[in-house]
Amino acid sequence: MIITLRGVRGSIPVPGKDTVKYGGNTTCIDIMTDEGDRIIIDGGSGIRPLGQELVAQLPVNCSIFITHTHWDHIQGLPFFLPLFIPGNNVGIYGSFDPVYMKDLKTILAQQMEYCYFPVRESELNANINYHNLREGQKIQVGSATVTPILINHPVLNFGYKVEANGKKFFFTGDYEPPLNIYSPEDEAYEEYQRLVDQQKKVLTDFIQDVDVVVADCQYTREEYPTKKGWGHGTHDSCIDMARDANIGTLYFTHHDPTRTDSELDKIYADVMNRSDLPATQFHIAMEGTKIKL
């Protein structure tokens, strides 16, 4: 597999002189298997330049897996050029929204209604197939197997494991490790903690010994106390994940939109100076990075 990070920013695109090094596009990961099967995870603004590259190699056949439908993970889809061209085949996978009772097609089509966008979803010319996924449902994309797992975020959110030719890759999507909502002195604390530990173990077992993980760590340990419940992890939580699951390499991603290149440099230096790091190789995700497995 060749994994290309097409967008590593969280919340909103932030182009400009202070984000040139790590990139300002929102989440998109492009995966190409050795056999040429193309898997795209998330349709943030980083999917737009990817689409421009793909139309030079028509017809386009790809599968897009949406972690969740928050704006920064779908906002690039209306600008993904392969969707407009007849003869292209695009499968779009994601979750049914059980709160608003909307399927994936309905949610994605709504951002292309005339009040938001000049071209409706019904006017797209590619052959587009929508698939509502269940947790644990294995999807075969050519030589690769893609498996979703539900993980903690304020909306239903899938992490995706991609396996091909004996190699394993995992992307968390937006993920905040579950927390105990009770204080240690509360009667319900121990029972709730057992549930928290169980949830963490499910994810740890799912990603055990994965070769490469790209993980959400929008906040620093200093910022996190005021951001609890917002649905994002920290560098500390990612390090714990890597240690518990014996991860080979982990990339910190979903950079806060206020974060400059120099601030990300400093965060990475601080992380790498910690004395308790596991054997995992850690990197700050950078737009354009290619990872070969």
How do residues 81-125 score in pLDDT, each as one tens digit?
A: 999 999 999 999 999 999 899 999 999 999 999 999 999 999 999
The dotted CATH code for 2-292 is 3.60.15.10
Amino acid 88: pLDDT? 98
- For the stretch 219-237, pLDDT in tens is 999 999 999 999 999 999 9
**Average pLDDT of span 265-282:** 95
Mean pLDDT of the chain: 97
- For the stretch 170-218, pLDDT in tens is 999 999 999 999 999 999 999 999 999 999 999 999 999 999 999 999 9
**Average pLDDT of span 247-257:** 98
Amino acid 221: pLDDT? 92
Whole-angstrom distance, CA of residue 31 vs CA of residue 1: 7
Please, what sign has the CA dihedral across residues 259, 263, 269, 270?
negative
Strand ranges in 33-182 using DSSP code E only, listed in sequence order: 38-41, 61-65, 89-94, 127-132, 139-141, 144-151, 157-164, 167-171
Residue 200: other Cβ atoms inside 10 A: 18
Structural contact between residues 271 and 236, judged by C-beta atoms closer than 8 angstroms? no
* Of 99, 112, 60, 213, residue with least CA distance to 50: 60
Whole-angstrom distance, CA of residue 232 vs CA of residue 217: 6
- Model confidence band, residue 25 (pLDDT cutoffs 50, 70, 90): very high
* DSSP code per residue over 238-273: HHHHHHHHT-SEEEEE-B-TT--HHHHHHHHHHHHT
Amino acid 248: pLDDT? 98
**Phi, psi (degrees; rounded to nearest 5) at 95:** -105, 150
Amino acid 200: pLDDT? 94
- Model confidence band, residue 72 (pLDDT cutoffs 50, 70, 90): very high
Judged by DSSP in three states, 179 sits in: coil
